[in-house]
Amino acid sequence: MPTPVPPEKKFSSHVYDELKNLDNLSTYLKESPHKNGYLRFSEDAGWKFSPNKSWRDSLHMRDAGFSKAPINPADMGLVKPGEEIALYNLLQRLNTKINSYPVTLGSFAAKLAKPTPLPRTIFSNATPTETPTPSPRLDLQKHQKVMNNYLDSPASSSAPVEVGKLSVKERAKEWECRN
């Protein structure tokens, strides 16, 4: 069973994701050539700031894709679905929203850097410079001699192959020919 994430980490990752999405929206809007328009979101194309209003939004048949967006601009008080807004005003609201957070994206980057782990050791209290080195085994030569004697003994070798007998494959072929 996975270890539950503490509420502080859930909150910080949620805030980080929200700030990153707001920053991405701000970057997109700064590149927009239109001065007035409507904000929409589609899963395929992402954010779109267009001077044309969708007839589906006019008839309230959809919410300009806000419900499928990673952040909902209507819930954040930036713009309502189908509301015409000046780009300058939208950017101003967006910057106000970003500045209302007690943290910035840059502060998350410092916290996300992982510390370098210490080398593993079986001695938990030892520092890397004090880590003891294991001594060589003294009984290794004795075991090596026993193993060499066993390998050299005639009992461990396989029986010699007799020249006059057929191999297993040859016997199988011979048997198939008979039947």
The full set of domain ranges for the chain reads 7-111
Higher pLDDT, 151 or 43: 43
**Per-residue pLDDT averaged across 54-63, rounded?**
72
C-alpha 166/C-alpha 172 separation (Å) is: 10
Q: How far is CA 56 from CA 40, 60, 67, in A?
A: 11, 6, 15
Write the pLDDT tens digit of every residue in 137-169: 777 788 888 888 877 776 655 566 566 677 788
Confidence (pLDDT) at 111 = 53
Which segment of 6-10, 19-23, 66-70, 98-102 scores lowest on mean pLDDT?
Answer: 6-10
Whether the predicted pLDDT of 47 surpasses 80: yes
Q: 14: helix, coil or strand?
A: helix
